[in-house]
Structure 1
């Protein structure tokens, strides 16, 4: 099976370990184990749970404790609706390979995570792209979606909050997409890895899993929960689909690591504390980035409403890749070129890292841009 190279991951693989100031990172500043234990009040008790573990395979679908903690992130879900996976990347891969067959129509927005159109394309699906536009706030145009979601469409795919734009569909907007899917008999997959760190209170928007019987939510510990090193994600869907996913999962995963399962359960049982920290970071850094954008000639954006990333439109006669490579070589600052996301003329910035790193990186970025305008 041939598949299109994953452009963003190839960019990250090439440069992430060679930069000094990483403004391409999409996770909220990662927790240390020490910080996680302080946030959860488990510093003194963790060894009581950890020391007795036998390092064998864990529970196949994920421990009941972890699945209950995941289910609690939603309005109307239970353990039977949750399947634990190897990161959200594993969750998304599993859904596509379970549902999509050659010739099926799959409707996906772009820009978005490349999995959601390249995997179904590799399977032989009829992939229809709905392009997000800056003039609509990077939100899907419902007329464009409706034109592609025809009777018999197998799967519609969203990312909410969106990576790379930071756009956010609220409950009403999601319900309108649900209505389109329902009329066509389509499944709706929403990659919700950035859910829980909205810029406005209450901080967490609705999940499609709570709005539609044929909806599928994928999530992970990586972005909003600041624990990418656990490599742990999940699928939330109907018990019937979870059973189908499990059949495919048996060929790739067996179980996630028992220690990962334990630490993820601990973090999610204290989701409020972890997300309070994450929201403080993304909201404080959003203000830093907003001030910088306002003071930069030739830089425009749609301010993100959720997630950890934004697209910066620039006015220089350089490709986004050339500009990003020059920036790295001159300053050690790493961004992601829009070309890796099929939106040339833009730079993706991740703004959820350490505030000092963000401020220093923005200063160097501004100086680099100024030199090219001189």
Structure 2
């Protein structure tokens, strides 16, 4: 983003999302227009609102698919609609695809924006679907002029990655079918555990995620998300992320792709804590 955006540029960002999608443009001096995903639409964007915000001259439209924190998934039809909007205003379309490969049903892989649009920018990582966050390695698929700009900027930032990290990432990619099958199995089995918890917990509801390892839980208690998470952690040791981190109240982000027994135990403790309030 620091190489693509300049002071005074206009950026449209779908929210909720990674903070970098709006904070970095704001820090550069760009005007950022938020376009909030709608839960009543299954955490999909309102395309009419996006068309209104993406005015001629918009520099970048930022999206995240599959979405963090909701676990929502935009299908190919939706992505092509967004591509048409980006093309109409001449914007680049930046898609953070960190959870690509973890669709819970059907084809595990969503279409990459870089394959759908001549000004599409797709970013991926070893961190999420491969469970190799410690390597700190990712990639970008984008037009040649953006690759050249990124290569130039890289000389000023990281120069190169560690040789061991690079080697381990290559080994993982060579075995991606086995690794991704394992990751997807964990997601599906653990989501069934979470779904059963939500179905039987009177204070919690959610829109079931379609991809990735995280989702939002809504609650009906008279306290802020920050207070709830703080008290829960202090009382029980169970930690959830407050929705306030995403500028959303009355909800919590939960990651459900950890050890299954830990998930079952943690949700049980959470349920007991809620019942005692």
TM-score by length of 2: 0.99
SS of 1:217's partner is strand
Equivalent in the alignment of 1:220: 125
Displacement of 1:203: 1.1
Deviations along 1:151-181, one digit per CA (max 9) or x if unpaired, are 1100000000000000000111101000100
Alignment of 1:18-33 (within 5 A): none
Q: Distance in 2 between matches of 1:272 and 1:283?
A: 16
Deviations along 1:83-140, one digit per CA (max 9) or x if unpaired, are xxxxxxxxxxxxx101100111100011100000000001000100001121111111
Equivalent in the alignment of 1:125: 30
TM-score by length of 1: 0.73
Alignment of 1:160-175 (within 5 A): 160-175=65-80
Q: State the Cα RMSD in Å.
A: 0.7
Equivalent in the alignment of 1:355: 260
Q: Distance in 2 between matches of 1:185 and 1:178?
A: 10
1:367 is the counterpart of 2:272: yes
Q: Distance in 2 between matches of 1:143 and 1:349?
A: 30
SS of 2:98's partner is coil
Displacement of 1:206: 0.7
SS of 1:219's partner is strand
Match of 1:153 among 58, 69, 79: 58
Match of 2:233 among 304, 311, 328: 328
Greater relative contact order structure (CA < 8 Å, 6+ sep): 1
Equivalent in the alignment of 1:256: 161
Match of 1:244 among 139, 149, 162: 149
Q: Which runs of 5+ in 1 are unaligned?
A: 1-95
Displacement of 1:298: 2.0
Q: Distance in 1 between matches of 2:219 and 2:194?
A: 15
SS of 1:327's partner is helix
Displacement of 1:269: 1.5
Q: Which runs of 5+ in 2 are unaligned?
A: none
1:285 is the counterpart of 2:190: yes
Q: Distance in 1 between matches of 2:72 and 2:126?
A: 21
User: Aligned residue pairs: how many?
Assistant: 277
> Which 4+ residue blocks in structure 1 deviate beyond 2 angstroms?
none
